[in-house]
Amino acid sequence: MLRNLLRRYAIITLGCLVYALAFDWCYAPNDIAYGGFTGVAQILNSLGGFLSVGTLVFFLNLPLFLLGWKLLGGQLLLSSLYAMTLSSLFIDLLAALVTFSPMEPLLACIYGGALLGVALGLILGQGATTGGTDLLARLLKLPLPWLPMGKLLLGLDLITIVACALVFQNLNTALYGLVALYLSTTVMDTVLYGLDTAKVAYIITSQPGPVAQALTQKLERGVTLLHGEGAWSGEERPVLMCAFKQRQIVSLKEQVKALDPDAFLIVCNTHEVLGNGFRRYHSQDI
């Protein structure tokens, strides 16, 4: 239990560090509009300048954390408070230690968006958020559970990016920000949902028994027998359905074709697989 907890917070810490690197290296020195509360903090910092971006992010998030406590529970809010505090601290600390020079804006968009997406994927994947629109998106997942986190964040952050463009009176700031936002949400969804490399095979064979036995014993994967019927012949044809890991695809093909060279095999990508031998369902899944 303690080991899992330490591992979880170590991943969140890594995500916070990557988050700060994306902001200080790619976004801030290149005047790229940043979504969420960090973007709001950018605006306030440019207007007033009396508080750092990291400090402003921290204070802007406090009311939202109080609102989310009842709906999301103490555990998620505690880990989110940790992530929010650490990411804000890393932003200020990294800015104080290293002065990043501006780069080609398009490169800043690409690398900044990719780094931010990885960071948010790591943090959100451990049941935490960095506050701001991340937390708002997490709250919106309660009534809208079918929407991916990336799409929710995309919509929420658009408002901040438009505000940045108006305040800084620079259309390029918003346009580059939109490119980076699209990349970050795409990468984030890939980290959250795309790393489940399971697949599903549908097998139509004249040797359903031996094939099912081979997959069960040699690949250690469960097989479900579906009842099908040939549309042209009208004959009953059993269909084997088997969920398996990406790395087992070669072995599965070999086992099926060795027993029945004429077997009809369909392999499909899956969004995610929950159950024995795969990932277990958790109530805080996003």
- pLDDT higher than 60, residue 229: yes
136-195: per-residue pLDDT in tens?
777 777 777 767 767 777 777 888 888 877 877 778 888 888 899 889 888 988 887 765
Higher pLDDT, 211 or 199: 211
| Residue 72: predicted pLDDT | 63
Whole-number mean pLDDT of the chain? Answer: 83
Higher pLDDT, 119 or 235: 119
Residue 196 pLDDT grade (very low, low, confident, very high; cuts 50, 70, 90): low
| Residue 207: predicted pLDDT | 92
The alpha carbons of the chain give a radius of gyration, in whole angstroms, of 24
> Residue 151 in contact with residue 185, Cβ under 8 Å?
yes
CA distances for 62 relative to 14, 65, 236, angstroms = 22, 5, 63
110-130: per-residue pLDDT in tens?
999 999 999 999 998 887 877
31-74: per-residue pLDDT in tens?
787 777 777 887 787 777 667 777 887 788 777 777 667 666 66
Quote the percentage of the chain above a pLDDT of 70: 88
Average pLDDT over residues 244-251: 85
What span, in angstroms and rounded, lies between the C-alpha atoms of 179 and 177? 5
Identify which of 26, 181, 12, 180 has the alpha carbon closest to the alpha carbon of residue 95.
26
pTM here? 0.68
